[in-house]
C-alpha cells in the first residue's frame, strides 16, 4: 500500500474518475428508483389490484340467443358476485351521470357525478382530507343526500372556504358535503380524474336519477397472484347469469389494472437496467483508467517486482499486491462516490420543493439494493482492472526485471 | 550410502555441464557453455571475468533466479531443474541471500521495512520479525538508521541494509554481484570486512568482483571467459 506514495497525482485523478463513475451510476439508479416509486404510487391513484368491468355485447350465439345482445350490470350483479366469488375482497358498482348541475352560492358547474359504494374509499383511493369522511354504510342504507367532492372540484366550488358540512345543490336538491378527497397523483383513469368528480351513495343515486344499470363494476381480489383465473371464473358465473358463452370475451370488457401495473413495473425495471448500464459504462471507463494506471505503475516498478522476486516473493504475492492496489483504488473512489451520492440524494429529499415535475418524476432515492448493486459493479470493475495488469506483473522474468532501468 | 549423504551435505553448489542460452530477438546467445562447478559449504569464493563472460548469469542460476537451459544444478542437494516458480521463490527466500551492485533496495521503504520484506514473504510473525530486523540492522551497524529511507543514506549504508536484508531468513548461501562496485574504497573495504565476518560465522559466500584485491581475500577465484571456466588461470573444483 505504501507503494502509492510515489504517484499521488495520478492516483488522485484515478480515484476521482472512479468516484465520478460511482456517482453517475448511483444517481442514475437512484433517479430510476425514485421514478419507479413515484410512478407506482401514481399508478395506485386509481386503485391497487383492481379490475374494472363494463358491460359489452355478445359476439357468440349462446343457447339460442343471437349475437349482439347487450350485457348490462344491475345492483343484483354485485351481490351475485359477492356470494359466488369468495376470492374477492370487494365488489362494487358505479352509477355515473354527466352534466349534473352542482351549485354553491353563485357558482354552478355541470359535473360528472357518480353513485358509489363505501369500499371506494379503499379500492379507488378516495381518501378524505382531515375533517371529512367518505360515504359509509349508513349513508347507503338511509340513502342520505351526502356528497364527497374531488379536491379540484371543491376548489372550483368553494375556493379556499371550508366545504365539509356545507350544502351544495345538485340539480336543485340539497346535498351535505361530508368530505373532500385528499390530493393524489392519478396516472390512469376512466371518465376523467377523480379530483373533478363528485361521489354520492349508489343507493341515493338510483333513487334520485332512477338509474337501474351500473356504468361499471369494480372488484378487488384478496390475493393478486391469480388475476387470470379469477377473470375466467367471472366469465363462467356471469355467463350463467346473463346467458352468454364464458368464452365470449366481448360480453364483458375487462380492464385489469393490476396487469397494467405489472407491465408498468417491467417497463420500470427495464428503464432502471438501462440507467444502470449507462452509469456502469462511465464506471467502466473509470475502470479502464485504473487498469491504465496499474499498467504504468507496473512498468515503473518492474525493478521493484524483480527485487521482490529475488528476495523470495512468489508470483501469487505479486499478483495479489497489484490486485489489492486496483481494489483499493476502486474501493476508495467508490466509497467517496457512494457517500457523495447518498448525501446528495438525502439532501435533495429534504429540500421542500412543490412542483408538478417532482410529483410526477419522484425524487432520487438510494435503496439498499442500489448500494449492493453499485458495490458489486465496483467489485467487478476493480477485479477486471486489476487482474490483467497483475497477471502481467506476476509473469515477469525476475532476471530481466532486475536489469530494468 | 551414509558416507555419500555426508559428502552431499558438505557440498553447497554442484553444477554439472550447466548451459544457459538466451534468445535475443531471433539471435541465440549462449551465456554459459557448460559449467562444471562445485562449491563446498563455508567457502569464500570470488568470481572474476571480463564483462559478458557470464558471471551474472552464473550467479542468477546459483541463486535460483534463473534455471539452466541444460545441465544439472543442485543447491544443498536439491535439484533445481524440476522446481516450480513457487518453489524457486521459496529457495530464494530461505536458502539464498542476494547482494547487488546497485543495492536494489525499495526506494520508498525505510531501512527497517526493506529488511522486513523477506521475513514477511517467509510468514514470520510480527514479534519475532521485529526482533530479527532490529538485530540484523544492529549487526550491520545501522541500529540508528532504521527509519531512514535509501535516499537518506550513503552508498555504504545502503549496501549494509542490503546485506542485512540478504541475511534475514538465515540463508547459508550469500551471493554478491560486485557489492563494492558503486562504493568508495573505504566503504567497499567495510563491506568486504562484513562479508569476511559472515564467512567466519559459517556462511558460504560467492562474490563477483572486478577487483583483484577483493579476490585475493577470498579462498578461491573462479575465472570466467566466454561462458566457460578459464582453466588457464584458475581450476574449477572437480
Q: What CATH number did the domain enclosing B211 receive? A: 3.40.50.300
Instruction: Give the pLDDT mean for A259-264.
Output: 79
B49/A187 Cα distance (integer angstroms) = 90
Per-residue pLDDT band for A5 (boundaries 50, 70, 90) equals: low
Domain count, chain B: 1
Please give, rounded to a whole number of angstroms, the shortest distance from the CA of A317 to a CA of chain B. Answer: 8
Asked whether the beta carbons of A374 and A295 are under 8 A apart, the reply is no
Quick one: CA torsion of B138, B143, B146, B151, rounded to 10 degrees? -100
Residue A2, pLDDT > 70, answer: no
Average pLDDT, stretch A231-239? 91
Other beta carbons within 10 Å of A227: 18
pLDDT score for B9:
47
Does B86 contact A at CB distance below 8 Å?
yes
Counting every residue, how long is chain B?
Answer: 238
Q: Considering only CA atoms, which of A47, A128, A123 is closest in space to residue A92?
A: A123
Average pLDDT over residues A365-379: 89
pLDDT of A404 reads: 78
How many other CB atoms sit within 10 Å of the CB of residue A240? 12
Instruction: With H, G, I as helix, E, B as strand and everything else as coil, classify residue A53.
Output: strand
pLDDT < 70 positions in chain B:
1-9, 232-238
> Closest-CA residue in chain B for A317?
B121
Q: Could you tell me if residue B166 is inside a domain? A: yes
Taking the CA of residue B1 and the nearest CA in chain A, the distance in Å comes to 33
Does B5 map to a domain? Answer: no
B89 touches chain A (CB under 8 A): yes
Question: Which stretches of chain A sit within 8 Å of chain B by CB?
Answer: 2-3, 5-6, 303-304, 306-317, 398-399, 402
Please tell me the predicted confidence (pLDDT) of residue B81.
Answer: 85
Helix or strand holding residue B45 (H, E): strand B44-48
Q: What mean pLDDT is reported for chain B?
A: 88
Identify the residue with better confidence: B124 or A11. B124
What pLDDT score was predicted for residue B120? 92
What rounded mean pLDDT belongs to chain A?
Answer: 88
CA distances from A310 to B99, B100, B104, B175 (A): 10, 10, 10, 11
- Find the angle CA(B85)-CA(B91)-CA(B96) to the nearest 5 degrees: 130
- A178 has pLDDT over 70: yes
**Three cell numbers written together for B143:** 541500529
pLDDT score for B205: 95
Average pLDDT over residues A269-279: 89
Would you state the pLDDT for residue A282? 86
CA distance A395 to chain B (A): 10
Domain membership of residue B177 (yes or no) is yes
Average pLDDT over residues A173-190: 88
A177: number of Cβ within 10 Å? 22
CA-CA distance, A400 to B42, in Å (whole number)?
Answer: 30
Task: Specify burial of residue B11 (Cβ count, 10 A radius: 0-12, 13-18, 19+).
Answer: middle
For residue B118, is it within any domain?
yes
Residues 6+ apart with CB under 8 A from B87: none
Looking at A38-52, A141-155, B12-26, B196-210, which range is the least confident one? A38-52
Chain B residues in contact with A316 by the CB 8 A cut-off are: 86
What cell does A350 get? 429534504
Q: Which residues of B touch A398 (CB under 8 A)?
A: 65-66
Residue B237 has a pLDDT of 42
Q: ipTM of this predicted complex?
A: 0.88
The reply to whether residue B65 touches residue A315, judged by beta carbons under 8 angstroms, is no
Query: Cell 379490475 maps to which residue?
Result: A51
Domain extent, residue B203, equals 42-67+83-229
| pLDDT > 70? residue A62 | yes
How many inter-chain contacts (A to B, CB under 8 Å) are there? 62
| pLDDT value at A335 more than 60 | yes
User: Does residue B223 lie within any of the structural domains?
Assistant: yes
Q: Which residues of B touch A402 (CB under 8 A)?
A: 65, 100, 104
Please report the pLDDT score of residue B61 as a whole number.
93
In a domain, B116, yes or no: yes
Q: What is the mean pLDDT of residues A217-235?
A: 89
pTM of the model: 0.69
Amino acid at each position: 500500500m505504501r507503494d502509492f506514495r510515489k504517484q499521488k497525482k495520478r492516483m488522485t485523478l484515478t480515484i476521482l474518475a472512479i468516484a465520478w463513475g460511482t456517482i453517475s451510476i448511483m444517481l442514475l439508479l437512484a433517479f430510476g428508483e425514485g421514478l419507479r416509486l413515484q410512478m407506482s404510487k401514481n399508478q395506485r391513484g386509481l386503485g391497487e389490484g383492481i379490475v374494472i368491468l363494463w358491460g359489452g355485447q355478445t359476439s357468440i350465439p349462446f343457447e339460442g340467443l343471437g349475437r349482439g345482445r347487450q350485457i348490462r350490470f344491475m345492483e343484483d350483479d354485485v351481490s351475485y358476485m359477492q356470494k359466488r366469488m369468495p376470492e374477492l375482497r370487494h365488489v362494487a358498482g358505479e352509477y355515473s351521470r354527466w352534466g349534473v348541475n352542482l351549485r354553491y352560492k353563485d357558482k354552478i358547474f355541470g359535473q360528472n357525478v357518480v353513485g358509489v359504494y363505501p369500499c371506494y374509499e379503499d379500492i379507488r383511493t378516495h381518501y378524505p382530507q382531515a375533517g371529512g369522511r367518505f360515504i359509509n354504510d349508513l349513508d347507503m342504507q338511509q340513502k342520505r343526500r351526502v356528497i364527497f367532492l374531488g379536491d379540484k372540484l371543491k376548489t372550483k366550488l368553494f375556493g379556499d372556504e371550508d366545504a365539509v358540512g356545507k350544502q351544495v345543490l345538485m340539480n336543485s336538491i340539497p346535498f351535505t358535503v361530508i368530505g373532500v378527497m385528499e390530493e393524489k397523483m392519478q396516472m390512469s383513469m376512466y371518465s376523467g380524474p377523480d379530483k373533478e368528480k363528485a361521489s354520492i351513495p349508489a343507493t341515493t343515486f338510483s333513487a334520485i336519477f332512477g338509474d337501474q344499470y351500473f356504468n361499471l363494476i369494480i372488484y378487488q381480489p384478496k390475493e393478486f397472484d391469480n388475476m387470470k383465473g379469477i377473470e375466467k371464473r367471472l366469465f363462467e358465473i356471469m355467463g350463467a347469469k346473463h346467458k352468454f358463452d364464458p368464452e365470449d370475451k366481448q360480453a364483458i370488457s375487462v380492464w385489469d389494472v393490476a396487469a397494467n401495473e405489472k407491465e408498468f413495473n417491467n417497463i420500470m425495471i427495464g428503464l432502471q437496467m438501462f440507467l444502470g448500464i449507462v452509469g456502469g459504462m462511465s464506471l467502466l471507463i473509470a475502470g479502464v483508467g485504473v487498469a491504465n494506471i496499474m499498467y504504468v505503475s507496473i512498468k515503473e516498478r518492474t525493478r521493484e517486482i524483480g527485487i521482490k522476486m529475488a528476495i523470495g516473493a512468489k508470483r501469487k504475492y505479486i499478483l495479489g499486491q497489484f490486485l489489492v492496489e486496483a481494489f483499493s483504488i476502486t474501493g476508495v473512489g467508490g466509497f467517496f462516490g457512494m457517500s457523495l451520492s447518498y448525501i446528495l440524494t438525502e439532501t435533495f429529499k429534504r429540500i421542500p420543493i412543490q412542483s408538478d415535475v417532482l410529483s410526477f418524476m419522484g425524487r432520487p432515492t438510494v435503496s439498499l439494493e442500489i448500494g449492493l448493486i453499485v458495490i458489486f459493479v465496483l467489485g467487478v470493475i476493480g477485479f477486471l482492472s486489476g487482474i490483467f495488469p497483475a497477471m502481467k506483473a506476476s509473469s515477469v522474468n525476475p532476471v530481466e526485471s532486475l536489469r530494468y532501468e | 550410502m551414509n558416507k555419500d549423504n555426508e559428502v552431499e551435505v558438505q557440498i553447497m553448489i554442484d553444477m554439472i555441464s550447466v548451459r544457459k542460452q538466451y534468445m535475443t530477438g531471433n539471435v541465440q546467445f549462449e551465456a554459459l557453455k557448460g559449467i562444471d562447478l562445485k562449491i563446498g559449504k563455508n567457502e569464500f569464493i570470488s568470481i572474476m571475468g571480463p564483462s559478458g563472460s557470464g558471471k551474472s548469469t552464473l550467479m542468477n542460476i546459483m541463486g535460483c533466479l534463473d534455471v539452466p537451459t541444460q545441465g544439472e544444478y543442485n543447491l544443498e542437494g536439491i535439484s533445481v531443474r524440476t522446481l516450480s516458480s513457487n518453489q524457486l521463490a521459496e529457495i530464494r527466500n530461505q536458502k539464498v541471500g542476494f547482494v547487488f551492485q546497485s543495492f536494489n533496495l525499495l526506494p520508498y521503504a525505510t531501512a527497517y521495512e526493506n529488511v522486513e520484506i523477506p521475513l514477511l514473504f517467509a510468514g514470520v510473525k510480527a514479534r519475532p520479525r521485529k526482533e530479527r530486523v532490529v538485530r540484523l540492522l544492529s549487526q550491520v551497524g545501522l541500529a540508528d538508521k532504521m527509519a531512514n529511507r535509501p535516499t537518506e543514506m550513503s552508498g555504504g549504508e545502503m549496501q549494509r541494509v542490503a546485506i542485512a536484508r540478504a541475511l534475514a531468513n538465515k540463508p547459508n548461501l550469500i551471493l554478491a554481484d560486485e557489492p563494492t562496485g558503486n562504493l568508495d574504497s573505504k566503504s567497499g573495504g567495510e563491506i568486504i570486512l562484513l562479508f569476511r565476518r559472515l564467512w567466519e560465522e559459517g556462511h558460504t559466500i560467492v562474490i563477483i568482483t572486478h577487483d583483484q584485491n577483493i579476490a585475493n581475500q577470498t579462498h578461491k577465484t573462479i575465472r570466467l571467459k566466454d561462458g566457460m571456466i578459464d582453466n588457464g588461470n584458475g581450476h574449477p573444483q572437480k
